[in-house]
Every structure is written in structure tokens, then in C-alpha cells.
Amino acid sequence: MKTAFLILIFAVSLFSVQAQQSEKSSKTPRLKVLVFSKTAGYRHKSIADGLKMFSELAQQENWTLTATEDAGLFTSDFLKNFDVVVFLSPTHDVLNAQEQAAFKQFMESGKGFVGIHSASDCEYDWPWYGKLVGAYFKTHPPVQQATIVIEDTNHPAMVPFKDMKTFTTTDEWYCFTSNPRAHVHVLAHLDESSIKKTNKENNWQMGDHPLIWYQEINGMRSFYTALGHVAEDYQNPKFQAHIAGAVNWAGHVVD
């Protein structure tokens, strides 16, 4: 019943969660965060789990949180109210030309972007977005357990992995149409030798296989993690800290 209740709440087109603050916290929220999860293609069941996680993180991190699947809200007047926009597993063509222009204007004013999982399976016909997210999704092997190799823990999103060289988890291991390493700062990559189950085409291999990265472009901050396919990700304290660090970095709260 609790799960059904949460899904019902998150199904509405727009909701806001004002972060609860302790007596010692500032009355001013640290960040105003917009979570966008519209899908025009495949829809991940874990989106509901992600929204629940963001609601909890908002209270923990002292954010004002708004979540929507209404792309019509992407106007300059609406977006100016936020510091960070999170794309939580959207898919395919979710913004029209006017909405794209408003989002581009928002980002170019020095704001922050966090892309989770299928944020890379989105807006294929918009090159500016492709550059912002870092790479476009191509395919993946079957969902399975595999190993991630940590490259850099000197980023707020990587703090939960600071004492780890590798970690093993179950996810949907995205590969991309091009390798983003030349123009982003890669934080972690997939150990492809840990993949045991393959698809018939076996076309998921990249050799060098980035999974988590960030970039700064003319004052804009962009972060992407390919993790987030399974519901268990959003219940994992390390993943929760991973996303909290990414949002706080994108919003210039931490460096």
C-alpha cells in the first residue's frame, strides 16, 4: 500500500517538496532543484523509486524540490526559479523547439544539469543537448552484475567511493554512440571483462567504456551517470550520496 501511494503521488504532472529544516539549518534552501522525467520511448519502472529518493534527499540536503513530466513548463519564466535541472531517465523526444530554447537559455545563464541513466537516450536530434549530456546511448548487454572501475574520487559525487578502486553492482550497462572521454572528465568506467551475458549482436563493447563523467562549459555545470536502471540503485546509500553530491556540485554549492 505504501508503494502504491507513493506512485500515485508521483504520477501527477507537478509536485513540490519543501525541504524540512532543523532548528540549526538556514531558512533559505541550499538549492532549488527541478526533476524532469518525461518519457516518449521506453519508460523505466525505477523512475518512481528515483522520485522517492529525491524527495528524501531534498529533506536531507535542504533543497526545494519540484518534479514534473510536463514539458510545457519549460519556459524562461518557469526555469529561472531553479538552480539545477535533473533529467531522471527521460527518453526520446521530450522537448519541442520552444522548450529546448528555454532550457538552453537557462543552462547558458550558468546553471547546472544532472543526467541520470537514460538521460543519454534522449533528444537525439538536438546536438546541443548531446554535447551537454556528453554522449548518446547506443545499446546495452542484458542487465547483470558487473564491475565499475573508479578513476577519480576528487569530485563530490564520488565521495561515497573514495576508499574503493572498484565496486560491483547490477545495472543496465549502457554503451554510447561515441566515446565522450575527449571532451569530458571521466570519473569511472566499466570493466568490460566483468560482463558475462551478451546480446546476439555483441555490439555493446567500447574498449574504453566511460560510465560517469562531468564537464564545465562556459559557466554551465553538467554531470552524467549511466547508473540508475534498477530500483535498488535508488535505495542504495552510496548511490544516494552519489546523486546528492552531483546535484550540489551542479548547483555550485560544493566544488
Mean pLDDT of 221-231: 98
User: pLDDT (tens digit, 9 = 90+) per residue, 6-50?
Assistant: 333 344 444 454 444 443 344 577 899 999 999 999 999 999 999
Whether the Cβ atoms of residue 53 and residue 17 lie closer than 8 Å to each other: no
For residue 188, the cross-strand partners are: 150, 212
Query: What is the model's pTM?
Result: 0.90
Residue 56, C-alpha cell as written in the block: 528524501
Q: Considering the domain delimited by 2-7+31-250, tell me its CATH architecture.
A: 3-Layer(aba) Sandwich (3.40)
pLDDT mean over 176-187: 98
Choose among 221, 189, 210, 190: nearest CA to 107: 221
Instruction: Read off the pLDDT of residues 144-171 as tens digits, 9 standing for 90 and up.
Output: 999 999 999 999 999 999 999 999 999 9
SS3 label, residue 142: coil
For the chain, give every domain's residue range: 2-7+31-250
